[in-house]
Amino acid sequence: MRYRTLGGTGIEVSVHCLGTMMFQDGCNSDHDDCVRIIHAALDQGINFVDTADMYGQGESEEIVGKALRGRRDDIVLATKVHFPMGEGRNRGGNSRRWILKAVEDSLRRLDTDWIDLYQVHFPDHSTDIEETLSVLSDLVRQGKVRAFGCSNYPAEEIVEAHHVSERRGLGRFRTAQPPYSILARGIEASLLPVVERHGMGALVWSPLAFGFLTGKHRKDRPVDLTTGRAALRPALFDPARAENAAKLDAVEQLVELATSIGCTLPELAVAFTVAHPGVTSAIIGPRTMEQLDGLLKGAALTLDDATLDRIDAIVPPGVNLYNPAASLPPRSLTDTALRRRPLAERAAA
């Protein structure tokens, strides 16, 4: 396993990061089995583990805490904050009030005194970014957090956050965590260049494109929209939709490419993401030991320029055949008041 420096922090992390979203009720709820999977990943050189408080409403963090007992000093541990945790107001978001509560809860569940990378899971436009950066900076000074980053932030909001950090003398986002895969290459256009320009690390999620690059979903095969991920987001899998037909067409070409270079489609997909100079680590999120073994089998796969050129011909650089973060589109698109002038001001004369 190779290691790269995480966004100028001096912390070295494995090029594969173990994601733990699958370790919860409804996915893999066998805590002992999850611990075995985590230990197997660590034994094969992964030193970077990513979780979030909202995965199973804390269950994933508890599993990770169990797995890291006796090994904590050697592991770079990342978690996230933002989504509601329980009923009631002010139990989510990016406010100082909530983050101070949430970090203590995460530390307790993870059974640790510090978090190496604390990430803001999504933007919160009801909270001033200065408020969020201020409390995160305080947590670093207190030693509860070593560094902090953002997840699912668009490029323009990352730039704004850096501007506020400089103007107010606050700590800055050291990392970004966007979705990235062969089928979702939109971040190549602006987000990854911004990450590189500001010396940030990038931890990319969904390298298997929500399952489309596992090889399970193929053209002209029936799709069961009542189970698994297809039941959660049927619009992403319904083959009758033109955008899904385009994904399946691309998958067929990618399967042929993978076969021609002697690897599996998942191996090709993960290797593609870590070949970009702006990417520090790709998050792999296995549910079973078999899935972990399959993903790590391709860790040494190197894609040459000819192979990357063939991928570019199938899905051009910067093109999104789908957007896995589309369930939370930016406010600039959802708030009509930000897209329409008052009626009396719309005419040119």
Residues ≥6 apart with Cβ < 8 Å to 300: none
Residue with tokens 């089998």: 297
The residues that are catalytic are 55
Task: Give residue 108's pLDDT band: very low, low, confident or very high (50, 70, 90).
Answer: very high
Q: Which tens digits make up the pLDDT trace of 8-38? A: 999 999 999 999 999 999 899 999 999 999 9
Which helix (H) or strand (E) segment holds residue 292: the answer is: helix 289-297
Distance CA 23, CA 32 (A): 10
Answer yes or no: are the C-beta atoms of 121 and 153 closer than 8 Å. no
Q: Which runs of consecutive H residues, i.e. helices, occur in 68-221?
A: 96-110, 129-142, 155-168, 191-197
Measured CA distances, 138 to 41, 141, 143 (Å) = 33, 5, 9
- What is the mean pLDDT of the segment spanning 174-200? 96
Measured CA distances, 14 to 11, 116, 270 (Å) = 10, 14, 14
β-strand pairing of 175-177 with 115-120: unpaired
Q: Which tens digits make up the pLDDT trace of 263-279? A: 999 999 999 999 999 99
Please give the span between the terminal C-alpha atoms of the chain, in angstroms, as a whole number: 64
Q: Which tens digits make up the pLDDT trace of 201-255? A: 999 999 999 889 998 888 878 777 777 667 667 777 787 788 888 999 999 999 9
What number of residues does the chain have? Answer: 349
Task: Give residue 299's pLDDT band: very low, low, confident or very high (50, 70, 90).
Answer: very high
Helix (H, G, I), strand (E, B) or coil at 313: helix
pLDDT of residue 222: 77
* pLDDT of 115 higher than 60: yes
Helix (H, G, I), strand (E, B) or coil at 230: helix
* pLDDT of 127 higher than 90: yes
| Residue type at 145 in one-letter notation | V
Distance CA 171, CA 335 (A): 30
pLDDT of residue 337: 85
Answer yes or no: are the C-beta atoms of 248 and 254 closer than 8 Å. no
* pLDDT of 117 higher than 60: yes
pLDDT of residue 228: 67
pLDDT of residue 236: 77
Q: Which of 242, 243, 245 is nearest to 220 (CA)?
A: 245
Q: Which pTM does this prediction carry?
A: 0.92
User: Rounded mean pLDDT of the chain?
Assistant: 93
* pLDDT of 79 higher than 70: yes
Q: Which tens digits make up the pLDDT trace of 130-141? A: 999 999 999 999
Share of the chain above pLDDT 70, in %: 97
Distance CA 121, CA 150 (A): 6
Q: Tokens in use for 18? A: 């173990």
